[in-house]
Structure 1
Amino acid sequence: MLSKPESSKCSDDTEQIVINLPCRLIERAQKYADEHGNSVTGVIIEALDALLGGRTTR
């Protein structure tokens, strides 16, 4: 896992990172995005936020 020194803070509301995801996962995210009028980026952001925030879909 990558980590930044504690003194490093984002100077903007967003920060770009590059991650490699399995093609099957991206295909599922794209299908979900298409069905819900969203982008793959939006789906990934929402999923990560839900996971880290403790929300579940069940």
Structure 2
Amino acid sequence: MTDKSDPIKCSDDTEQIVINLPCRLVERVKRYGDEHGNTITGVVIEALDALLGGRTVK
């Protein structure tokens, strides 16, 4: 399958987006972040990067 979407053009290194997650998932993400010295944002960024990059967490 070919990606026909336009490339994302950002004027900065980051772009803010808002997503709504189920409270139970947020609780799990927060607990994971607390246990690994990370923030909710950091955990979500790492998880998306791993998923989209094809990596698996061991």
Give me the TM-score of the superposition, normalised by structure 1.
0.84
In structure 2, what residue type is equivalent to 1:46? E
Alpha-carbon deviation of 1:8? Answer: 5.6
| Structure 1 gap ranges (5+) | none
Question: RMSD across aligned C-alpha pairs, in angstroms?
Answer: 1.7
Aligned length: 54
1:16-45 CA distance string (max 9 Å, x none): 000000101100000000001110000000
**In the aligned structure 1, how far is the partner of 2:8 from the partner of 2:48?**
22
In structure 2, what residue type is equivalent to 1:39? T
| Structure 2 gap ranges (5+) | none
**In structure 2, what is the equivalent of residue 36 of structure 1?**
36
Identity value in percent: 74
**In structure 2, what is the equivalent of residue 6 of structure 1?**
6
